Amino acid sequence: MSEAGEGRIFHSPNVVAFCLELNSVKRQDGRLYHQYIAEPVCFTSLIEALGQMGGFYDELQFPFAATAPRSLKKGQSRK
């Protein structure tokens, strides 16, 4: 495996690596990685991280939202 490909998970296209760097009462900083991006997606709260992951899975259509797009916020749907 080449250096550029090290650390990537090639056998599962829907895996997100969740790296939490700071965990305090007010903030949770970290990065998300998946095989479709070269640079990490940074976040400053767990809700933001889950929203980023939800958007990624919506783009992949995995798992398929059978009747309507999913959302983490009550009363809202993704468009």
Alpha helices in 12-63 (DSSP H): 46-60
For 27, residues 6+ apart whose C-beta sits below 8 A from its C-beta are 44, 45
Determine the pLDDT at residue 59: 86
Q: The whole model's pTM is what?
A: 0.68
pLDDT in tens, 18-37: 999 999 999 999 999 988 88
Average pLDDT over residues 2-15: 65
Give the residues across from 32 on adjacent strands. 18, 41
Give the pLDDT score at 8.
58
